């Protein structure tokens, strides 16, 4: 199963941890943006944007690790528009606070996982099993 992880630079170690766990279990990371430094100019932004857009579109699932910035939310929007399954991880229950949450976090395509990264990885593994079981009938979630 192909996946992409969107988050902010401040979550880089969490992104790498989830990626190691998924890749170590046979998943394919469509693009690892953690290998990049920050963009130095507009040409870098365009190059990175094209790579990340392709990665979102080539993935079966998109994982968003909160807190995340504007780029991650744009990637989430692309994934929603493309009909991708999204796993939205929040380190706490603040995602359920009506004053702090987003409308788009609560769409049917979005599976919210609050708590530990282990809970997130377990949710992805569980969904992958369902996907593999139903793959013969339908290639989408």
Q: Is 111 in a helix, a strand, or coil?
A: strand
In the structure encoding, which two tokens stand for residue 42, read together? 């507009």
Tens of pLDDT, residues 71-119: 999 999 999 999 999 999 999 999 999 999 999 999 999 999 999 999 9
Residues 6+ apart with CB under 8 A from 122: none
Tens of pLDDT, residues 18-51: 999 999 999 999 999 999 888 899 999 999 999 9
How far is it, in rounded angstroms, from Cα 100 to Cα 102?
Answer: 7
Domains annotated on the chain, with CATH: 2-134 (3.40.50.450)
């Amino acid at each position: 199963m192909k996946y992409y992880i969107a988050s902010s630079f401040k979550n880089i170690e969490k992104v790498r941890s989830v990626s190691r766990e998924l890749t170590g279990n046979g998943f394919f990371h469509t693009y690892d943006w953690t290998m990049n430094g920050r963009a130095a100019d507009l040409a870098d932004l365009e190059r990175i944007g094209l790579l990340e857009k392709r990665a979102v579109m080539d993935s079966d699932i998109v994982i968003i690790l909160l807190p995340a910035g504007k780029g991650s939310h744009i990637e989430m929007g692309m994934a929603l528009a493309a009909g991708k399954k999204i796993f939205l991880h929040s380190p706490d229950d603040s995602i359920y606070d009506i004053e702090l949450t987003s409308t788009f976090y609560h769409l049917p395509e979005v599976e919210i996982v609050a708590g530990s990264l282990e809970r997130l990885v377990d949710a992805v593994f569980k969904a992958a099993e369902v996907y593999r079981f139903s793959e013969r009938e339908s290639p989408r979630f």
